[in-house]
Amino acid sequence: MKTKNYDITIIGSGPGGYRAAVLATLRGKKTAIIENQTWGGTCLNRGCVPKKDWHETAKWIEQSRHFEKRGVVGMALTGDMTQAWQHQHKVVETVRASYVDYLKRLGVHLYNGTGCFLDPRHIQIQSAAGLAEIHTETSVIATGSVPSLPQGITTVPGKALTSDMLYDDGVPSGDRVIMVGGGVIGTEFAYIFTQLGKQVEWLTHAPPLAHTRYSPQAKDTLKAALAALNIHPQAGFRIARIETTTAGVTVFDDLGKSVQGDWLLLATGRHAFTEGLGLENTNVTLDDRGFVRTNTMLETEEPGIYAIGDAVGPIMNANQALSDAQIVIHNLLSAEKQERDPLWVPELVYSAVELARIGMDDDAAEDLGFEPAVGFAAFETSPRALGQDDSVGFVRLLADMDSGELLGGEIVGRDAGELIHLLAGNGNRDEALRKIVETRVNHPSRAEELVNAAETLAARWGLEERIFGATD
Ligand SMILES: Cc1cc2nc3c(=O)[nH]c(=O)nc-3n(C[C@H](O)[C@H](O)[C@H](O)COP(=O)(O)OP(=O)(O)OC[C@H]3O[C@@H](n4cnc5c(N)ncnc54)[C@H](O)[C@@H]3O)c2cc1C
Ligand SMILES: NC(=O)c1ccc[n+]([C@@H]2O[C@H](COP(=O)([O-])OP(=O)(O)OC[C@H]3O[C@@H](n4cnc5c(N)ncnc54)[C@H](O)[C@@H]3O)[C@@H](O)[C@H]2O)c1
């Protein structure tokens, strides 16, 4: 068997692996990427991309309730989840084909198969075609994550599924869906499924998003938006056991309560996936939660092997995986090293309202000795939001009371996922609020509320000079 040589080999083609492969090749490195499922990883095939496709459809259905008063008459829109599945599937296939095409055009060597370290510089690739072996100077572990199930619970195709199974296998028959989990997936899917025509029994242990850094005001806004659509989480339910029959599924908690439905979606977390990677043939180690142990520059304990994205955790989103890929490729090619700073990577939730946040929350700012000044602007009087019949939400900025440095920000409402980029620039955060108030805006737009929030903050907390500049 002839061994091929690479400068950089990436295992896993999710957003982390794909981005690392693109950046390494654009910067002149001979690069290989290995994938044992569908190209594009969780995010493209079973996560962000199909989920956002569905979220868009859900929003249309929700907004169609305003159509008549807007002068759009003669339509009664309802959701069809099976057709919605077909739609996301086409989008995903199109994106996947373009990803693979781009990688090939760049000259990345693509391997379909499972990568396994034989030693720190040799990787075996096992595929239907047989075994191959490559030599590589450096490698990036980008193997992502898989769903976690509570103890004693197993999946049953068509009856008790994870989000991976839902996107891989299609929508089971039956409209009565039980959803377990009050994390990000539960919070997003409870909304999406309901708009797509399902009757959802949403069982959560803690209140939705309890373990996230969104402000109480953001969580309250979300709760009210969900309640307005008659979506109510049933908190205090810890799933202990399930029974499935051809007719459906019954879910039991540890106090003996039971709920029946046609099928069940288990959204009870995810964990890093490193099985079969041959880490025992390297010095790479895992922490006690199963994440690959790295330093802040994403170097593992084995020189020359890096790890990124969900495999490193603990924050598991595509934005973090993309940011990690940039850091690793930069550090591989530059003497000046960059460090991971998860705080300044945007986090999003796409539910009955969009929630976006970046930077510190109030508690973290105070713990670090800052005195947070808050700037607030609501969308309820935004001409753009009112014209869209979608004026729920706000912009909330946090700055240091002495210096005016931007400490963090939160945007709740339509397009929050786009607007958050105005706070995510890598520039000097001392100057961030001044840059916002100096931005030449499009009117009417939602972005204007960021300017309003920054101006409010300046005026309320005596930071006019820092934020508007000195007056003569
Ligand atoms: C339902 C859902 C919705 C989501 N929505 C969002 C969202 O809106 N925004 C957001 O930012 N994040 C979202 N996420 C999270 C996001 O999908 C993940 O954080 C992201 O995909 C992680 O990227 P990654 O590159 O680390 O790994 P992954 O995308 O998980 O990719 C890892 C790849 O490695 C492959 N692999 C594993 N082991 C091997 C091996 N030994 N050899 C070869 N290949 C291997 C796997 O098959 C997989 O394709 C969502 C997740 C889910 C489940
Ligand atoms: N927009 C995004 O960025 C996005 C979207 C979806 C998923 N993701 C990521 O994917 C990962 C998986 O999402 P998730 O929502 O499954 O995980 P999560 O960790 O956000 O939430 C898991 C939920 O399951 C609950 N749970 C666990 N065991 C339970 C039990 N026995 N009974 C009842 N409830 C139980 C927990 O209380 C928690 O609410 C997360 O890291 C998430 O951040 C990100």
User: DSSP letter string over 300-353?
Assistant: -SSTTEEE-GGGT-SS--HHHHHHHHHHHHHHHH-SS-----GGGS-EEEESSS
Compute the C-alpha angle 127/129/134, nearest 5°.
60
Ordered domains of the chain (ranges, CATH): 4-147+271-332 (3.50.50.60), 160-268 (3.50.50.60), 353-468 (3.30.390.30)
Which of 186, 180, 176 lies closest to 237, judged by CA? Answer: 180
What's 14's DSSP letter?
S
- Residue 228 structure tokens: 């307005």
**Count of CB atoms within 10 A of residue 257's CB?**
14
Pairing of strands 263-266, 176-180: parallel
SS3 102: helix
CA of 34 to the centre of ligand 2 (A): 27
ipTM above 0.95, yes or no: yes
The average pLDDT across 171-187 equals 98
The reply to whether ligand 1 has any atom less than 6 angstroms from the CB of 42 is yes
Residue bearing tokens 């409209």: 175
| CB of 118 closer than 8 Å to CB of 124 | yes
Distances in whole angstroms, Cα of residue 97 to Cα of each of 90, 168, 457: 11, 17, 46
Which of 47, 14, 111 lies closest to 312, judged by CA? Answer: 14
Give residue 77's pLDDT.
Answer: 84
- Residue 281 one-letter amino acid: N
Separation CA 378–CA 396 (nearest Å): 9
Mean pLDDT check: name the lowest of 68-72, 215-219, 237-241, 344-348.
68-72
Q: Confirm or deny that 71 is annotated as ligand binding.
A: no
- Residue 230 structure tokens: 């008659």
Site to probe by mutation for ligand 2, drawn from 161, 179, 184 as the one with most ligand atoms within 8 Å of Cβ, is 184
In terms of Cβ atoms closer than 10 Å to its own Cβ (0-12, 13-18, 19+), residue 275 is exposed
Residue bearing tokens 């009112």: 386
Mean pLDDT across the chain, nearest whole number? Answer: 96
Q: How does 325-355 read in b/e, with b if 16+ C-beta sit within 10 Å?
A: bebbbebbeeeeebebebebbbbbbbbbbbb
- At 65, is the pLDDT very low, low, confident or very high (cuts 50, 70, 90)? confident
135 included as an active-site residue: no
Q: Confirm or deny that 186 is annotated as ligand binding.
A: yes
What's 65's DSSP letter?
G
Mean pLDDT check: name the lowest of 219-233, 402-416, 421-435.
421-435
The answer to whether residue 2 scores a pLDDT higher than 80 is: no
Query: 83-102: per-residue pLDDT in tens?
Result: 999 999 999 999 999 999 99
β strands within 103-236, DSSP E:
109-112, 114-119, 122-127, 130-141, 145-147, 160-161, 176-180, 199-203
Query: 44-61: per-residue pLDDT in tens?
Result: 999 999 999 999 999 999
- Residue 353 one-letter amino acid: V
The answer to whether residue 62 scores a pLDDT higher than 90 is: yes
Query: 282-322: per-residue pLDDT in tens?
Result: 999 999 999 999 999 999 999 999 999 999 999 999 999 99
Give residue 426's pLDDT.
Answer: 67
Site to probe by mutation for ligand 1, drawn from 317, 327, 357 as the one with most ligand atoms within 8 Å of Cβ, is 317
Residue bearing tokens 């979608």: 390
Give residue 1's pLDDT.
Answer: 62
CA of 80 to the centre of ligand 2 (A): 25
| CB of 144 closer than 8 Å to CB of 295 | no
Q: Sheet containing 394-400: which strands, arranged edge to edge?
A: 347-350, 354-359, 406-412, 394-400, 372-378
Phi and psi of 170, rounded to 5°? 105, 175
Separation CA 269–CA 150 (nearest Å): 9
Q: Is the pTM of this model over 0.90?
A: yes
CA of 411 to the centre of ligand 2 (A): 21
Atom 52 of ligand 1 has which residue's CA nearest to it?
Answer: 47
| CB of 374 closer than 8 Å to CB of 396 | yes
- Residue 33 structure tokens: 């990427």
Q: Confirm or deny that 310 is annotated as ligand binding.
A: yes
- Residue 77 structure tokens: 């829109």
- Residue 458 structure tokens: 């300046």
- Residue 370 structure tokens: 């800052």
Query: 113-153: per-residue pLDDT in tens?
Result: 999 999 999 999 999 999 999 999 999 999 999 999 999 99
Query: 368-427: per-residue pLDDT in tens?
Result: 999 899 999 999 999 999 999 999 999 999 999 999 999 999 999 999 999 999 999 867
Separation CA 341–CA 77 (nearest Å): 44
Percent of the chain with pLDDT strictly greater than 70: 100
Give residue 92's pLDDT.
Answer: 98
Separation CA 306–CA 299 (nearest Å): 5
Residue bearing tokens 């938006």: 225
Distances in whole angstroms, Cα of residue 397 to Cα of each of 220, 319, 364, 433: 17, 21, 14, 9
Q: Which atom of ligand 2 is nearest to the CA of 240?
A: 31
The average pLDDT across 440-462 equals 97
Give residue 15's pLDDT.
Answer: 98
Give residue 135's pLDDT.
Answer: 98
Helices 48-63, 184-195: inter-axial angle, 10-degree rounding: 40
